[in-house]
Amino acid sequence: MTATVSNYHARMQRVLDYIDRHLDDDLDLEAVSRVAAFSKFHFHRQFVATFGLSLHRYVQLARMKRASRRLAWNDAESVTDIAMDAGYEAPDAFARAFRQRFGQSPSSFRRSPDWAPWIAALGPLDNARNKLMQIIFTRDDVTIRDVPPMPVAMIEHRGDRATLGTTIERFKTWCKARGLSPETGRPSLMVFRSERCPANPADYSMDLCVGTDQPVETNDQGMRAGVIPGGRCAVLRYPGNTNDLEPAALFLYRDWLPDSGEEMRDFPIYCQRRLSLAPDASTPEVFLELFLPLI
């Protein structure tokens, strides 16, 4: 990364840090652009180009995330106070916006949070923050584990990566109908059988899997039973929720493996995505682990 790009990223990171610390303030375009030392006439386009969403939407999502945490964690706070702090003048306006975004009313979420739509709704916020992450991996980040075999329900995607979204939707629909949504705590896996961007797009290949011990019959949606084989694996945990695991995979293949003295097994590298809710946490954490099977 050049010094110029690094400086640009530092200024944008300063903006995100400022927003986090000043969610109760008037975070208008002029105030935030001054933090980054950018012209307000260009800052909006710069923000969208960098993070993939507007400043207004980013602030809305950040305030909603804080509000949902307070609802889930602190029963002593009234919904009215939480609504006002989230920038709404009345509780009913906050309730409508909350239900539209998360699929539950604030009171229902407080009683029994449904984390699946919560994670989906806040995905753009997490993705925006991940865009500035410069992950540096070291050998100490890799552990070698004996992994037990895992029965899964799986669907194969073969062909242009541009059509992967359709396969993902079929997979999600099937999982949700059977109570196997990864957001319920089921491990979700992606088996990468080709490069992320092969020379011929038609050669792109991956499997989408969800861990289950239920019988799985082959059906017209393309789902079938499978097994992720057990054995020794080099495991690299990714500190965030992202769909771009290319840097982590490159580190394992290019840097860690040649220096490790290990040899790869005849099974592709795969990723496992899990939902973790620690006893003292108010909201769940999604974490990723990349597995490189070893002999």
Task: Please give the model's pTM, rounded to 2 decimal places.
Answer: 0.65
Tokens standing for 152?
A: 């899964």
Question: Would you state the CATH architecture of domain 3-130?
Answer: Orthogonal Bundle (1.10)
Report pLDDT for 152: 94
Report pLDDT for 206: 92
Tokens standing for 137?
A: 């991996």
The CA–CA distances, whole Å, from 69 to 33, 34, 109, 222 equal 28, 29, 10, 38
Report pLDDT for 155: 94
Report pLDDT for 132: 67
Domains in the chain: boundaries: 3-130, 139-293
Residues 6+ apart with CB under 8 A from 77: 70, 71
Report pLDDT for 281: 54
Longest dimension (CA), the chain: 63
Report pLDDT for 97: 92
Tokens standing for 235?
A: 């495991």
Report pLDDT for 288: 83
Domains 3-130 and 139-293 share a fold: no
Residue that has been written with the tokens 């507007």 in this structure: 54
Report pLDDT for 138: 84
Per-residue pLDDT tens listing for the chain (295 residues) = 566 767 787 888 888 888 988 898 888 888 898 888 888 888 888 888 888 889 999 999 999 988 988 887 777 788 888 988 888 888 899 999 999 999 999 998 888 887 778 877 888 887 787 776 656 788 888 999 999 999 999 999 999 888 888 888 888 888 888 888 655 667 889 999 988 888 898 999 999 999 998 888 877 778 999 999 999 999 998 766 666 677 788 889 888 999 899 999 999 999 998 766 554 555 666 778 999 999 9
Report pLDDT for 52: 85
Report pLDDT for 280: 52
CATH of 139-293, one of 3.40.350.10, 1.10.1040.10, 2.40.37.20, 3.20.80.10: 3.20.80.10
Residue that has been written with the tokens 């088996």 in this structure: 191
